[in-house]
């Protein structure tokens, strides 16, 4: 934990297209344990928003309860935020999103918050293809309540007290693909080269973007025998691809061998450039993605990178044909269209 942050900023710190330096995207000083993976993810989120030239007031940060769910206080202090109830972040995200589709919704959760108390909410927000980025900071334990095993702790892994977990783990990325999530990625808090482009791509995806990020808990789950420790993750990580995110306006440049690069075009015209490492994996094919994750799991590997993406699916707004304008900007004429139109609507129900 560090209590002092220097206010000095180098005068030559680069500015983005809006004229902001990266510190404009930071938040309050973190009170998490020094070395906690969650702080690295917060820094990656700030960097991604800086590089995407996002106006912080166009972002709404939503979370549940846990050390992970505290992190929205540590990035984007100029954004909207709602720290909700344990496991209930998806409901808050759904309500806010329905009222105003113009904001970028960034949901932050933990493996406890998502895979136990919040599981019911998680599966339904995926089915609805809500337009949001949902990040799980996954440390395999309940950090805030002193390190109990969570439902993502691998069977056979050992916790700090030496107890072996007897139960099968829940693989959130596989589950998300299975339930029809339209963007699923996996990464590691210690790999910002991979994490930042994935966050940028998730923010540009017009549907539910899920990022499962392994984020070691240095205080309660970084021991030998844990499969979520820094050492274990570094030794077992297997990338499907390295990822570059090319925003809509930027020209694509590549130095990679022909055939090893796959360009995935996003709705807004931005491109995700994948430098594929795993030959027999296709990120637009759901079965191939599920196979790749399960194959890796059977070899005790953690597959990272963009695992799956579907650019054709309609999101929640499209499916429900909701108002294109935020509800708080609708005027009286739009809200009260007149007796004749009301009669037409009533007649259509008769």
Instruction: Look at residues 248, 234, 246, 193 and name the one whose alpha carbon lies nearest to residue 47.
Output: 193
Q: What is the token pair recorded at 213?
A: 């990020």
- Span interacting with ligand SF4, options 53-61, 138-146, 165-173, 267-275, rule CB under 6 A: 138-146
Taking the complex as a whole, the smallest distance from the CB of residue 348 to ligand TPP amounts, in Å, to 43
The kind and range of the H/E element at 265 are strand 261-265
The residue count for the chain? 350
Q: Binding of ligand TPP at residue 159 (CB under 6 A)?
A: no
d(CA 199, CA 210): 9
| Residue 12: both structure tokens together | 């030559």
Residue 141 near ligand TPP by CB under 6 A: yes
Q: Return the number of the residue (38 or 200) whose C-beta is nearest ligand SF4.
A: 38
Residue 112 contact, options ligand SF4, ligand TPP, none, Cβ 5-8 Å cut-off depending on partner type: ligand TPP
CA distance 210 to 126: 9
Who's near 91: CB < 8 A, 6+ residues apart? 84, 121
Instruction: Please choose, out of 22-30, 143-151, 260-268, 289-297, the segment that lies near ligand TPP by the rule CB under 6 A.
Output: 143-151
Contact between 110 and ligand TPP per CB under 6 A: yes
In our burial notation (b when 16+ CB lie closer than 10 A, e otherwise), range 241-267 reads bbbbbbeeeeeeeeeeeeeebeebebe
154 touches ligand TPP by CB under 6 A: no
Nearest to 189 by CA among 340, 33, 39, 307: 39
| In the block, residue with structure tokens 């953690």 | 302
Q: Does 188 bind ligand SF4 (CB under 6 A)?
A: no
Binding mask 60-99 for ligand SF4 (x = CB under 6 A): -------x--------------------------------
In the numeric block, which tokens belong to residue 79?
A: 């954004």
For the window 9-48, what string marks contact with ligand TPP as x by the rule CB under 6 A? Answer: ----------------------------------------
Q: Is 306 in the site for ligand TPP (CB under 6 A)?
A: no
- Does position 32 interact with ligand SF4 (CB under 6 A)? The reply is yes
Among residues 65, 126, 130, 198, the one that binds ligand TPP under rule CB under 6 A: 65
Task: Let me know: does 131 contact 315? Beta carbons within 8 Å.
Answer: yes
Task: Select from ligand TPP, ligand SF4, none the partner in contact with residue 84, using the beta carbon and a kind-dependent cut-off of 5 to 8 Å.
Answer: none
Sole window of 80-88, 136-144, 275-283, 287-295 interacting with ligand SF4 (rule: CB under 6 A): 136-144
* DSSP string for 334-345: HH---HHHHHHH
Give the residue with the Cβ less far from ligand TPP, 27 or 56. Answer: 27
- Shortest gap between Cβ of 98 and ligand TPP (angstroms)? 24
Asked if residue 246 lies in contact with residue 270, where contact means CB atoms within 8 angstroms, the answer is yes
Q: Which residue in 28, 53, 145, 329 binds ligand TPP (CB under 6 A)? A: 145
Sole binder of ligand SF4 in the list 72, 143, 202, 206 (CB under 6 A): 143
220 binds, among ligand TPP, ligand SF4, none (CB under 5 to 8 A by kind): ligand SF4
Residue closer to ligand SF4, measured from CB, 32 or 60 = 32
Q: How far apart are CA 204 and CA 22, in angstroms?
A: 19
SS (H, E, C) 149-197: ECCCCCCCCECCCCCECCCCCCCHHHHHHHCCCCEEEEEECCCHHHHHH
Binding residues for ligand TPP, per CB under 6 A?
Answer: 65-68, 86, 110-113, 117, 137, 139, 141-145, 150, 217
Binding residues for ligand SF4, per CB under 6 A?
Answer: 32-33, 36, 38, 67, 139, 143-144, 217-220
């Amino acid at each position: 934990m560090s209590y002092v942050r220097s206010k000095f900023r180098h005068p030559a710190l680069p500015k983005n297209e809006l004229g902001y330096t990266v510190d404009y995207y930071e938040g309050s000083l973190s009170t998490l344990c020094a070395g906690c993976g969650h702080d690295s993810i917060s820094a990656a989120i700030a960097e991604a928003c800086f590089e995407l030239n996002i106006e912080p007031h166009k972002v709404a940060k939503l979370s549940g309860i846990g050390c992970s769910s505290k992190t929205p206080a540590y990035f984007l202090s100029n954004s909207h935020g709602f720290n909700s109830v344990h496991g209930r972040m998806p409901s808050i995200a759904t309500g806010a999103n329905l009222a105003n589709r113009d904001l970028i919704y960034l949901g932050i959760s933990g493996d406890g918050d998502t895979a136990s108390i919040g599981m019911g909410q998680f599966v339904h927000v995926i089915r609805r293809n809500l337009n949001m980025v949902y990040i799980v900071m996954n440390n395999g334990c309940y950090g805030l309540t002193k390190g109990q095993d969570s439902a993502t702790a691998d069977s056979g892994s050992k916790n700090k007290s030496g107890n072996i977990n007897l139960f099968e783990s829940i693989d959130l990325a596989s589950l998300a693909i299975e339930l029809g999530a339209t963007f699923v990625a996996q990464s590691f808090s210690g790999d910002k080269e991979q994490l930042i482009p994935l966050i940028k791509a998730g923010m540009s995806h017009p549907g539910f973007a899920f990022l499962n990020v392994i984020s070691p808990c240095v205080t309660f789950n970084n021991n030998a025998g844990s499969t979520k420790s820094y050492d274990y993750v570094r030794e077992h990580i297997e990338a499907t691809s390295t990822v570059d995110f090319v925003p809509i306006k930027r020209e694509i440049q590549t130095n990679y061998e022909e055939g090893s690069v796959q360009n995935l075009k996003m709705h807004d015209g931005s491109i995700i450039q994948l430098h594929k490492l795993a030959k027999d994996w296709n990120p637009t094919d759901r079965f191939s993605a599920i196979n790749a994750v399960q194959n890796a799991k059977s070899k005790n590997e953690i597959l990272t990178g963009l695992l799956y993406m579907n650019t054709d699916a309609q999101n929640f707004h499209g499916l429900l044909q909701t108002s294109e304008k935020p509800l708080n900007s609708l005027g009286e004429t739009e809200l009260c269209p007149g007796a004749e139109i009301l009669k037409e609507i009533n007649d259509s129900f008769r």
